[in-house]
Structure 1
């Protein structure tokens, strides 16, 4: 009997400075996603803490550090708190469309403004149009771009104020990368709205989880991910309820081959 997909080969990147915790180094274990079973492989790896970037699935594999912890929201139990309900109400007029994974100039310009405002010195700051197109379009799995627009007026499509590159997995939605009008004073909390919109849409579609990537204890940039409850974290024994006072625990990576 033929297996649904061959066992993937894993590799490890060389260490680079950690973008979240000063003075530390990061490295990643990764494998390629290709062929007719790329989606099935991506689903399986997503359940053990991998993330997708273009046609690669990766997970942190840092020597002596386990600060990065995979987190996912349990959609059935999500109940927005007072602040979150106000964010939902404030942005309820936005028009939301799940578009095919095709990069547009409008999306790229929004991304450039977002990076300039929120991450001016980050690793994505030098992205050009080609880099963005690759990020969106080089997907071997079921992906789409969720666009958030101001209301249509007199038949004219509203301004694009937010977007999220999203994968639909067998058990949920995986938010690959979101960006939005970070300087929009009339719509504070837009990033939070995009996350909650994904949670509510996943629940409506019968999908139990929304994967938010990695939470890093001690990194203020990551604090927002734990505001959506109930949320689960991935440890050696599998997924469990989030405990904000617990120390991160390691998840052992599969056997791998070092890259020079």
Structure 2
């Protein structure tokens, strides 16, 4: 990997796992002060790393291998009947791409977390939390704002890599449950990859035994990074 000898890696102490209450986790992360170029970030993504705020990290939990990096080979992707309906249902939305979040992005994020994730470690939301998690992107970051007429109803945060897009996080107005905006955000990014001639959409970690992280295999075929190899599941 380019410049990997100059990159320092750090490991956290064991801490409570975000996905399983009876387990401890450890995280390997890149020196947050390192100047990570897009080519290096892209290679790190191919090796299973993810970004959260300024941190690029990967689980390093010893015998537990539950967190498996996933990506969609977009040119092979075949939407299900339900996914096609979601795309059609949201065909009236307009997407606007920006290098920074809109002024009212935090209000939307706060509403989303308060409605959908009151039982998670992101609750209660705060402006500082939002800024550190989503407001501090990398040079590769983009914010996809979805508007219904002039009303902002969803934002997908994505990073542009050499070989794809990395779906960082999507949040949306919970007052529109019939639109399945989380699903639509992924479908839109798959389409965007095709437009940019990028072969993959990186979806983050698939966790088989965690319901909120299991959805990634709904997008098929999917590739999972297992034993340092990307394996395709149809």
Q: Normalised by the size of structure 2, how large is the TM-score?
A: 0.92
Counterpart of 2:161 in structure 1 is 169
The answer to whether the 8 Å contact 1:38/1:140 transfers is: no
Counterpart of 2:95 in structure 1 is 96
When the two structures are aligned, how many residues end up with a matched partner? Answer: 233
The answer to whether the 8 Å contact 1:72/1:232 transfers is: yes
Counterpart of 1:205 in structure 2 is 196
Counterpart of 1:69 in structure 2 is 68
User: How many angstroms does 1:101 deviate by?
Assistant: 2.1
Counterpart of 2:115 in structure 1 is 117
User: How many angstroms does 1:36 deviate by?
Assistant: 5.2
Rounded to whole Å, the distance in 1 between the matches of 2:61 and 2:34 is: 29
Give the 5 Å matches for 1:188-203.
188-203=179-194
The answer to whether the 8 Å contact 2:90/2:179 transfers is: no
Counterpart of 2:105 in structure 1 is 107
SS at match of 1:167: strand
User: How many angstroms does 1:4 deviate by?
Assistant: 4.8
Counterpart of 1:217 in structure 2 is 208
Task: Note the alpha carbon deviations across 1:94-151, whole angstroms, 9 max, x for none.
Answer: 01111112452x1111111111122113222133223322333423331111111102
The answer to whether the 8 Å contact 1:164/1:179 transfers is: yes
Rounded to whole Å, the distance in 2 between the matches of 1:219 and 1:207 is: 29
Counterpart of 1:246 in structure 2 is none
User: How many angstroms does 1:7 deviate by?
Assistant: 2.7
SS at match of 2:68: strand
Counterpart of 2:29 in structure 1 is 30
User: How many angstroms does 1:224 deviate by?
Assistant: 1.4
Counterpart of 2:79 in structure 1 is 80
Counterpart selection for 1:238 from 212, 225, 229: 229
Counterpart of 2:127 in structure 1 is 129
The answer to whether the 8 Å contact 1:42/1:52 transfers is: no
SS at match of 1:76: coil
Point out the structure with max Rg over C-alpha.
Answer: 1
Unaligned runs of 5+ in 2: none
User: How many angstroms does 1:71 deviate by?
Assistant: 0.3
SS at match of 2:175: coil
Task: Note the alpha carbon deviations across 1:50-74, whole angstroms, 9 max, x for none.
Answer: 0012222100011320000000011
Rounded to whole Å, the distance in 1 between the matches of 2:50 and 2:36 is: 17
Rounded to whole Å, the distance in 2 between the matches of 1:76 and 1:44 is: 21
> Root-mean-square deviation (CA), in Å?
1.8
Q: Normalised by the size of structure 1, how large is the TM-score?
A: 0.83
Task: Note the alpha carbon deviations across 1:216-241, whole angstroms, 9 max, x for none.
Answer: 11111112111111110001241111
